[in-house]
């Protein structure tokens, strides 16, 4: 039953109050029809007796209290899904914008999804080779992981994400059931077009679904965009058995849209004005990544966010880091030094790496060398700091070697061109070559028999 | 008794016509029968927190009260299971609704089909009261489940049978003083917000051995004590919690994943059945109960999950077992509290948290302790509570960390700079503390002799000295330090790298027995002793001392197996003594 009301009593964008309603339920989708025939969508945030508080997904401009009609549709916001979505471009609210025909839906899915049963999850442990040393070697990505990129304004996160999307593959696995779901959340046309061109150039566009909410599109629509993308990804992964890589950019814009609505609702703000439920809200998106027991497909997620003022403790990166399984942090210092991609390996982390590496997955020496590289780079950086204050002469012989190691590590290991696709063996070999700079007694994190087998003999 | 909904705002629902409902009653909301709990009453209007997603619920929908508070089912079948925040078994839910959790599913927490072999211990004619043991069920090979008389019941056993029963079957009868006949079952129910009774509490006097060197040696936790693990993301909170759940020498572990990652629970579910408990030789899962309210699951049930967990833990404590409850993370629980408080339009305290945050936290931790259990045999049990705290930005000046630190006795502060250098566990040895050292000292002295505590204090003071010396080094370089100070720095480095660092993912290093910890520490300190002797004997080129071969062997001493360490360490000590004497030119 569709009920139509002409009883809008208040509009304070993006909220609207409709009175005298009957049978309206929480989270229901509604449409407003303007006198000029425009139709805009909105959803119910609160019902109190016969009054409904409704949140608009688009601008409130032109809404007339007396003449506009509100229709409650009796179901939450849904996305029509089908296998034909591949290769198509949609708006942030899920309507096709590439001039192609509408999708003939196989199913209509609630974009909020349902929580995944922890007892039905399959632990992600399949190594994905991205061809990027700092990720494969040190912060290994596995299928079904959610690994965000923490970036700053002006840093090359887009090219890093595009390189991952282009090169990612599972060793020995077929590549034919691979798909990319890309959600542009409030980013500029240029940034979004960069990704679309990249996908086109490499042919990945045929296997991509793109949801696009650009900076010029309504901010409140951004609340729906990532969920649209994830609903499409869930359908492809768990109904169509595909391995889906989801790229969401930029989460910071999403959180700001959420803050805008929260402020309009006059909620008690948490840190920096963001709502207290930001953690839960972000979690309901990020947690949709993963694998399920008995399903062939998977969702691997790379959300990108720009840290305001490069501050990792800002609520958006902070809460994201508490939910995601690690983070890749880009550093402005490295970028200035010309180290590209500027991955700051020490604070970067992949929580799932330990189950995805080692014998049978990558190589037996992976875990030990990884820890050793981290430890040596960390001590090397400390030694370099000391050197700037006290000069080279104050350093012990070992410290000097460590400092040299740190420099070479940035030059040879971190630095790599956007077209360079290193195999995991190449990455490990570079690692060993660098470790051979150091005296053997410093290699405490690696088992003696592994050192014996792999350390280049000079 | 049923009412009608008047307002829905996220997980908060207001309904009128509920004058008969009690505060804290469980209610069923809407046609799907979503589970909720009454928070406040005004006239016949009740504010209800709903433990499931409320989308599709609107005014006019029916609310039915069950007349009883939120309770858990306690009996055989809890172990090895994984529950959601309100004790619904997740594997059963999976059978019904597949990979995702649909709403309004109602499944009993304990299987009504599974039969348990019950062996009666009490006899007909026995006078029993709450806590007395009626008999036992071998719940898992590792745990003997004691079937107890429910806390508030007493009387004479008139009938009791051994045999195979389900948890709902009547195993016998008890006649109370008033002549009332009470049926006995393997299962009892208990309201989660009410602590289970005990006779009295004692001071904790025995350490909880976790096999983690920095914990057991430096900042020990007592059985029956409380501890907090605060740390920013990526500092290894979850690994520390998992290590404690794996290796603690307790009988039962209740692990609560409260608002954390789904994959972490999956990890436990997959890994624990594979790992062997060093104490019983059985898989670790056989002693573990899991509660999962992952971050994508409804927020209201997050608040309940902590209470569900601790009530189950208390039940096993009442059997006389040592129980540990591990909650990851209490910050998410506090945030759930804040979200409901905001929706109830309560006046916020600090950072939007309700004013009752610290009292609720204190109530939770206070349910831990060493207790003399109910029951005439005066058995003792203990309940140790360990909570992770996730302070925003790693800044522990926020309300949840502060309120927790006021209560707990052990503080393992995780440090992101240590984590970046891959020093794990990243517990900062300078700002962490344990207030149990004094009460535990007699136990250590009795068990391992006086040497252990002396070694510990020596090691801690070296680390403290190192921190001070590092300040000097930063200004003038290590070269300008005296030989004595350079030995201190070197020994501190060894303590950090060769003792405190412990690889949770390394088979041999993941668990370290107390004896091995003590021996390893003694070995490092004995290196210190030889070096100091050489230095006071006039040696000035300390680099020679640091280069001895045995030094590298100490670096690998952690991975010596449990059966060989004693002889191996003695051998290293011998070599070291000779080599250092040699280096000193004697």
Q: pLDDT tens digits for B355-372?
A: 999 999 999 999 999 999
Token pair in block for residue B410? 């052990």
Nearest residue of A to residue B263, measured between CA atoms: A123
Per-residue confidence (pLDDT) for residue B586, from 0 to 100 = 57
Q: Rounded to 5, what percent of chain B is helix, strand, coil?
A: 40, 25, 35
Residue A412 DSSP code: I
Cis previous bond, A93, omega within 30 = no
Query: Which among A47, A123, A367 is the nearest to B263, CB-wise?
Result: A123
Residue B1 has pLDDT above 80, yes or no: no
User: Least CB-CB distance to A267: which of B57, B102, B342?
Assistant: B342
CB contact under 8 A, A379 and B421: yes
The answer to whether A296 faces chain B, any CB pair under 8 Å, is no
Question: Quick check: B37 pLDDT over 70?
Answer: yes
For residue B538, with 0-12 CB atoms within 10 Å meaning exposed, 13-18 middle and 19 or more buried, which class applies? exposed
Q: B8 and A352: CB-CB below 8 Å?
A: no
pLDDT at residue A174 in the model: 60
Chain B residue with minimum CA distance to A440: B552
Query: Do the chains contact at A283 and B474, CB–CB below 8 Å?
Result: no
In this prediction, residue A440 has a pLDDT band, given cuts at 50, 70 and 90, of confident
pLDDT higher than threshold 70 for residue A447:
yes
Partner residue facing B263 (CB), from A124, A267, A293: A124
- Nearest chain A CA: its distance from B288 CA (Å): 15
Those residues whose C-beta lies under 8 Å from the C-beta of residue B468, and which sit 6 or more positions away, are: none
The shortest CB-CB distance from A23 to any of B58, B421, B476 is to B58
Q: Whole-angstrom Cα distance, residue B351 to residue B400?
A: 10
Q: Tokens 């595909």, residue?
A: A242
CB B188 within 8 A of CB B302: no
Cβ–Cβ of B392/A280 closer than 8 Å?
no
Q: Which chain B residues contact residue A352 at CB under 8 A?
A: 263
Q: Do B352 and A323 touch (CB under 8 A)?
A: no
Q: Do A268 and B262 touch (CB under 8 A)?
A: no
Chain B neighbours among A 59-98 (CB < 8 Å)? Answer: 76
Contacts with B, A 110-139, CB within 8 Å: 110, 112-124
Find the residue in A nearest to B477 (Cα): A394
Q: What angle do CA B269, B263, A186 make, to 5 degrees?
A: 165
- pLDDT band with cut points at 50, 70 and 90 for residue A270: confident
What SS3 class is residue A361? coil
Q: How far is CA B37 from CA A222, B308, B348, B430, in A?
A: 33, 14, 22, 44
Rounded Cα–Cα distance for residues A243 and A207 (Å): 11
Q: Which of residues 92-111 of B touch A (CB under 8 A)?
A: 93-94, 97-102
| Mean residue pLDDT across chain B | 93
Residue B336: closest CA among chain A residues belongs to which residue? A277
Beta bridge partners of A90: A96, A211
Structure tokens that stand for B23 in this block? 């505060």
Would you state the structure tokens that stand for residue B52, as one six-digit string?
């499931």
Residue B351 in contact with residue B398, Cβ under 8 Å? yes
Q: Please give, rounded to a whole number of angstroms, the shortest distance from the CA of A365 to a CA of chain B.
A: 13
Closest CA to A276 of B469, B340, B358, B199: B340
pLDDT score of B73: 97
Quick one: closest CA in B to A344, which residue?
A: B420
> With an 8 Å Cβ cutoff, are A117 and B56 in contact?
no
Q: Which residues contact B565 (CB under 8 A, 6 or more apart)?
A: B515, B516, B519, B520, B557
Residue B225 class from Cβ within 10 Å (0-12 exposed, 13-18 middle, 19+ buried)?
Answer: buried
Instruction: Kindly give the interhelix angle for B451-476 and A366-390, rounded to the nearest 10 degrees.
Output: 50
User: By the 8 A CB rule, do A102 and A108 touch?
Assistant: no
Predicted pLDDT of residue B104: 87
User: Cβ contact (<8 Å) for A28 and B8?
Assistant: no
Quote the CA–CA distance of B133 and B119 in Å, as a whole number. Answer: 11
- Distance, CA of B433 to CA of B408 (rounded, Å): 10
Residue B475 at interface with chain A, using a CB cutoff of 8 Å? yes
* Predicted local distance difference test score (pLDDT) of residue A1: 59
Q: Do A374 and B422 touch (CB under 8 A)?
A: yes
Q: What digits encode the pLDDT tens for the residues B107-161? A: 999 999 999 999 999 999 999 999 999 999 999 999 999 999 999 899 999 999 9
pLDDT at A173 over 70: no
Give the best residue of A15, A26, A30 to mutate against chain B (max B CB count within 10 A): A26
Backbone angles phi, psi at B188, to 5 degrees: -130, 160
Contact B339 A441 (CB under 8 A): no
Position A272 pLDDT exceeds 60: yes
Q: Which of A124, A292, A371 sits opposite B422 (nearest CB)?
A: A371
H/E stretch holding B537 reads none
Strand-pair partners of B6: none
Query: What span, in angstroms and rounded, lies between the C-alpha atoms of A331 and A379?
Result: 18
Contact B99 A322 (CB under 8 A): no
- Report the residue from A292, A322, A352 with minimal CB separation from B233: A322
Contact B392 A315 (CB under 8 A): yes
Tokens coding B278: 């060093």
Six token digits for residue B431: 């700002």
How far is the alpha carbon of A24 from chain B, nearest alpha carbon, in Å?
Answer: 6
Backbone angles phi and psi of B354, in degrees to 5 = -65, 155
Give the span between the Cα atoms of B556 and B552, in whole angstroms: 7
pLDDT given for residue B378 in this prediction: 92
Task: Give burial (CB, 10 Å; 0-12/13-18/19+) of B64.
Answer: middle
Listed by number, the residues of chain B in 172-231 with a beta carbon closer than 8 Å to a beta carbon of chain A are none
For chain B, give the number of residues: 586
- The number of beta carbons lying within 10 Å of the beta carbon of residue B132 is 20
Q: Nearest residue of B to residue A121 by CA position?
A: B266
pLDDT score recorded for residue A458 = 67
Q: How much of chain A, in percent, has pLDDT values that exceed 90? A: 79
**Spatial distance between the Cα atoms of A139 and A413, rounded to a whole number of angstroms:** 13
How many Å apart are CA B444 and CA A233, to the nearest integer? 57
| pLDDT level of residue B309 (50, 70, 90 thresholds) | very high
SS3 B88: coil
Report the gap between the CA of B265 and the closest CA in chain A (Å).
6
Nearest chain A residue (CA) to B30: A25
pLDDT at B583: 87
Distance, CA of B578 to CA of B586 (rounded, Å): 10
Nearest to B100 among A117, A294, A349 (CB): A117
C-alpha distances in Å from residue B6, one per residue of A3, A137, B1, B3, B58: 19, 57, 16, 9, 8
Contact yes or no for B9 and A390 at CB 8 A:
no
Token pair, residue B430, equals: 């300078």
Structure tokens at A81: 């899904």
Q: Does A441 touch chain B (CB under 8 A)?
A: yes
pLDDT tens by residue, B179-211: 999 999 999 999 999 999 999 999 999 999 999
Within an 8 Å CB–CB cutoff, is residue A17 touching chain B? no
Of A426, A48, A95, A124, which Cα lies nearest the Cα of A292? A124
Which of B52, B55, B501 to substitute to test the interface with A, most A CBs within 10 Å?
A: B55
Cβ atoms < 10 Å from Cβ of A202: 12
**CB proximity B261 to A under 8 Å:** yes
From chain B residues 423-462, the ones with a CB under 8 A of any chain A CB are: 423
Q: Euclidean distance between the first and final Cα of chain A, in Å?
A: 80
CB neighbours of residue A61 within 10 Å: 10
Angle between helix A424-435 and helix A397-408 axes, rounded to 10 deg: 150
φ, ψ for residue A111, nearest 5 deg:
-70, -15
Structural tokens at position A221: 């629509």
Cα–Cα distance measured from residue A395 to residue B479, given in angstroms and rounded to the nearest whole number: 8
Which residues are registered as beta bridge partners of A44? A54
- B347 preceded by a cis bond (ω within 30 of 0): no
Contact list, B503 vs chain A (CB under 8 Å): 371
- Residue A378 touches chain B, beta carbons under 8 Å: yes
Q: What is the mean pLDDT of chain A?
A: 92
Q: In this structure, what token pair is assigned to residue A326? A: 């690690």
Judging contacts by C-beta atoms under 8 Å, the chain A residues touching residue B8 are 25-26, 46-47
What does the angle CA B2 – CA B3 – CA B4 come to, to the nearest 5 degrees? 140
Peptide bond into A14 cis (omega under 30): yes
A45–B contact, CB cutoff 8 A? yes
Q: Is A39 helix (H, G, I), strand (E, B) or coil?
A: strand
pLDDT at B352 over 90: no
CA of A18 to nearest chain B CA: how many angstroms apart?
14
Gyration radius (Cα) of chain B, Å: 27
Check residue A441 and give its pLDDT.
Answer: 82
Contact A285, A226 (CB under 8 A): yes
**d(Cα A286, Cα A226) in Å, to the nearest integer?**
10
- CA B126 from chain center: how many Å? 37
């Amino acid at each position: 039953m569709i009920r139509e009301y002409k009883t809008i009593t208040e509009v304070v964008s993006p909220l609207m109050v409709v009175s005298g309603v009957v049978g309206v339920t929480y989270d229901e989708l509604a449409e407003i029809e303007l006198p000029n025939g425009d139709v805009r969508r909105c959803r119910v945030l609160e019902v109190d007796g016969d009054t409904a508080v409704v949140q608009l997904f688009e601008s409130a401009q032109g809404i007339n209290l007396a003449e506009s009609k509100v229709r409650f549709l009796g179901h939450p916001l849904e996305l029509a899904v089908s296998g034909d979505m591949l290769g198509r471009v949609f708006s942030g609210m899920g309507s096709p914008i590439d001039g192609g025909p509408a999708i003939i839906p196989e199913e209509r899915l609630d974009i909020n999804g349902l929580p995944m049963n922890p007892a039905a999850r399959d632990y992600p442990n399949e190594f994905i080779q991205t061809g990027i040393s700092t990720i494969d070697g040190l912060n290994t990505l596995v299928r079904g992981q959610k690994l965000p990129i923490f970036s700053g304004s002006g840093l090359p996160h887009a090219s890093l994400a595009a390189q991952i999307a282009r090169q990612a593959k599972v060793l020995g696995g077929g590549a034919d059931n691979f798909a990319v779901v890309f959600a542009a959340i409030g980013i500029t046309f240029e940034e979004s077009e960069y990704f679309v061109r990249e996908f086109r150039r490499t042919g990945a566009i045929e296997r991509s679904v793109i949801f696009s909410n650009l900076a010029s599109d309504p901010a409140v629509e951004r609340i729906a965009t990532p969920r649209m993308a994830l609903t499409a990804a869930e359908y492809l992964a768990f109904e169509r058995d595909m391995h889906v890589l989801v790229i969401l950019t930029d989460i910071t814009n999403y959180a700001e849209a959420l803050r805008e609505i929260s402020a309009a609702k006059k909620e008690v703000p948490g840190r920096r004005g963001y709502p207290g439920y930001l953690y839960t809200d972000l979690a309901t998106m990020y947690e949709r990544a993963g694998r399920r027991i008995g399903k062939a497909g998977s969702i691997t997620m790379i959300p990108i966010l720009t840290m305001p003022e490069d501050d990792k403790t800002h609520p958006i990166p902070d809460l994201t880091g508490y939910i995601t399984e690690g983070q890749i942090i880009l550093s402005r210092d490295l970028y200035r030094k010309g180290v590209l991609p500027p991955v700051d390996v020490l604070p970067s982390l992949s929580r799932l790496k330990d189950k995805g590496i080692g014998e049978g997955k990558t190589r037996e020496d992976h875990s030990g060398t990884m820890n050793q590289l981290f430890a040596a780079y960390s001590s090397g950086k400390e030694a370099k700091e000391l050197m700037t204050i006290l000069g080279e002469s104050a350093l012990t012989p070992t410290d000097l070697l460590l400092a040299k190691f740190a420099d070479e590590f940035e030059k040879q290991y971190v630095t790599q061109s956007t077209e360079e696709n290193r195999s995991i063996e190449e990455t490990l070999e570079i690692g060993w070559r660098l470790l051979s700079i150091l005296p053997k007694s410093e290699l405490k994190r690696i088992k003696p028999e592994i050192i014996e087998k792999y350390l280049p003999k000079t | 008794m049923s009412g009608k909904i008047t307002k829905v705002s996220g997980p908060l629902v207001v309904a009128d016509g509920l004058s008969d409902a009690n505060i804290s009653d469980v209610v069923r909301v809407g046609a799907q029968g979503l589970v909720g709990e009454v928070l406040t009453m005004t006239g016949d209007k009740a504010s209800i927190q709903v433990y499931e997603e409320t989308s599709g619920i609107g005014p006019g929908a029916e609310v039915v009260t069950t007349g009883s508070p939120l309770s858990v089912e306690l009996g055989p079948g809890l172990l090895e299971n994984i529950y959601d925040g309100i004790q619904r078994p997740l594997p059963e839910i999976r059978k019904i609704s597949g990979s995702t959790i649909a709403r309004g599913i109602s499944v009993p927490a304990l299987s009504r089909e599974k039969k348990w072999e019950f062996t009666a211990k009490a006899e007909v004619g026995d006078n029993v009261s709450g806590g007395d043991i009626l008999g036992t069920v071998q719940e898992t090979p590792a745990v003997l489940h004691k079937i107890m008389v429910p806390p508030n019941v007493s009387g004479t056993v008139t009938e009791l049978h051994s045999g195979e029963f389900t948890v709902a079957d009547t195993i016998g009868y008890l006649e109370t003083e008033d002549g009332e006949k009470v049926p006995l079952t393997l299962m009892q129910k208990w309201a989660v917000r009410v602590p289970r009774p005990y006779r009295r509490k004692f001071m904790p006097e025995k350490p909880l051995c976790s096999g983690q060197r920095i914990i057991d040696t430096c900042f020990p936790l007592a059985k029956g004590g409380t501890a907090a693990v605060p740390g920013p993301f990526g500092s290894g909170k979850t690994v520390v919690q998992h290590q404690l759940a794996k290796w603690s020498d307790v009988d039962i572990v209740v692990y609560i994943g409260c608002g954390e990652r789904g994959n972490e629970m999956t990890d436990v579910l997959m890994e624990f059945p594979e790992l062997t408990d060093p104490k019983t030789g059985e898989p670790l899962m056989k002693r573990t109960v899991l509660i999962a309210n992952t971050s994508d699951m409804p927020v209201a049930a997050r608040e309940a999950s902590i209470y569900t967990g601790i009530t189950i833990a208390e039940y096993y404590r009442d059997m006389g077992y040592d129980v540990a409850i591990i909650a990851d993370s209490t910050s998410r629980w506090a945030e759930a509290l804040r979200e409901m408080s905001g929706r109830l339009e309560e006046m916020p305290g600090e950072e939007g948290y309700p004013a009752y945050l610290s009292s609720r936290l204190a109530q939770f931790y206070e349910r831990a302790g060493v207790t003399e259990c109910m029951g005439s045999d005066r058995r003792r049990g203990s309940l140790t509570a360990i909570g992770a705290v996730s302070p925003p930005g790693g800044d522990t000046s926020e309300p949840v960390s502060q309120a927790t630190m006021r209560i707990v006795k052990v503080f393992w502060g995780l440090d992101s700079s240590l984590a970046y250098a891959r020093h794990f566990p990243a517990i900062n040895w300078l700002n962490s503390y344990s207030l149990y050292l004094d009460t535990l000292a007699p136990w250590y002295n009795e068990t391992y002799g006086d040497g252990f505590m002396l070694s510990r204090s020596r090691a801690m003071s070296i680390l403290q000295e190192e921190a001070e010396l590092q300040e000097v080094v930063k200004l003038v370089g290590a070269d300008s330090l005296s030989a004595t100070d350079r030995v201190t720095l070197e020994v501190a480095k060894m303590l950090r790298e060769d003792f405190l660092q412990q690889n949770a993912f390394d088979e041999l290093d993941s668990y370290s027995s107390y004896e091995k910890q003590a021996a390893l520490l003694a070995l490092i300190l004995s290196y210190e002793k030889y070096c100091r002797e050489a230095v006071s004997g006039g040696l000035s080129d300390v680099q020679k001392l640091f280069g001895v071969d045995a030094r590298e062997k100490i670096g690998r001493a952690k991975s010596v197996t449990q059966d060989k360490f004693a002889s191996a360490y003695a051998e290293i000590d011998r070599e070291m003594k000779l080599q250092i004497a040699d280096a000193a030119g004697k």
